[in-house]
Amino acid sequence: MRRAMGVIGIAAFCLPCLMAQEAPKTCRPTTAIDSQERHTMKHRPSGPANGTQSTVPDMLAWGFPANIDSKATRSSQEAIDNKETQVFTLTGNLWRIGLEGNDCDIHMELSDVSGDKASQRVIAEIPQENEQARTQVLDLLGAADRQKILNEQPDEKGNYRFINLTHQVEIRVTGYAFYDATHYSRNWKASKGGNCHFTPEEVHQRGNSHGTCAVGTLWELHPVWSVQKP
């Protein structure tokens, strides 16, 4: 009887821990899907298993969509550039990962496979509805990093803390190209560079508040539906 009570006590004590270990599944977006910027593009159905092979340097060199200074372009629910109709497969080093509280997407920052922690990166995002891809990327992480993400809890505003990986992980992701126009700065010429101390030209390329200072472009792969080990 005493042993049974001990087991019950342990189970009761660990219940919050068990509940916390489902952070990607239990995330509740602070912004409804229909209210998210360019939501029809970010939540498109999955495409083919493989796309056109690309690299981080390739994506960093992609140009600007036409008429990007237009608010109608930046908020469009349709493709604003031909690249947004195309599927790409990208291999890179994953350095940072986390849940976006506003939409519950898994947000990843990748450098080129030859890059280090200081190299420029691009962003790839997995929507909440694509559970398979979310499981795939979590399975490729080291045990300690995976547990950090699974145990993450939102703050009072619904935001989650991002994880800088202990060791980079080489991954291959497949998804649609997407220009995250929400972060584009129309006033880039007058920019002071913010906390990242960017030049105005760098602000033009990178936008505002788009990942860490290492992220070098507003072009992403989003949505991503496949994450594999190369």
**What pLDDT, in 10s, does the model give residues 31-76?**
999 999 999 999 999 999 999 999 999 999 999 999 999 999 999 9
What sign results for the dihedral spanned by CA atoms 37, 38, 44, 50? negative
C-alpha to C-alpha distance for 226 and 135, rounded to whole angstroms: 10
Please provide residue 135's backbone torsions phi and psi, each rounded to the nearest 5 degrees: -65, -40
pLDDT, position 22: 77
What pLDDT is stored for residue 21 in this prediction? 52
* Residue among 100, 85, 11 at smallest CA distance from 108: 100
Q: Where are the domains of the chain?
A: 2-228
Tokens 């300690």: give the residue.
144
Query: Which residues of the chain fall below pLDDT 70?
Result: 1-21
Whether residue 171 contacts residue 110, with contact meaning beta carbons closer than 8 Å, is answered with: yes
Q: Looking at residue 11, what is its pLDDT?
A: 42
Per the CB < 8 A criterion, the answer to whether 178 and 222 are in contact is yes
157 contacts 134 by C-beta, under 8 angstroms: no
Residue-level pLDDT at 54: 98
| Residue 166 pLDDT | 86
Residues 6+ apart with CB under 8 A from 178: 38, 41, 42, 84, 219, 220, 221, 222, 223
**Residue 65 CA, distance from chain mean position:** 21
* pLDDT at residue 5, as a whole number: 45
Show Cβ contacts of residue 87 under 8 Å, excluding neighbours closer than 6 positions: 47, 48, 50, 51, 52, 174, 175, 176
Structure tokens at 83: 């690249």
Q: Which long-range contacts (CB under 8 A, 24 or more apart) does 30-34 make?
A: 30/101, 30/102, 30/157, 30/158, 31/102, 31/103, 33/103
What SS3 state is found at 100? coil
pLDDT of residue 17: 42
E strand segments, the chain: 52-54, 87-99, 106-111, 121-126, 163-179, 215-228
- Taking domain 2-228, whether its CATH number is 2.40.50.140 is answered by yes
What confidence score (pLDDT) does residue 23 get?
Answer: 86
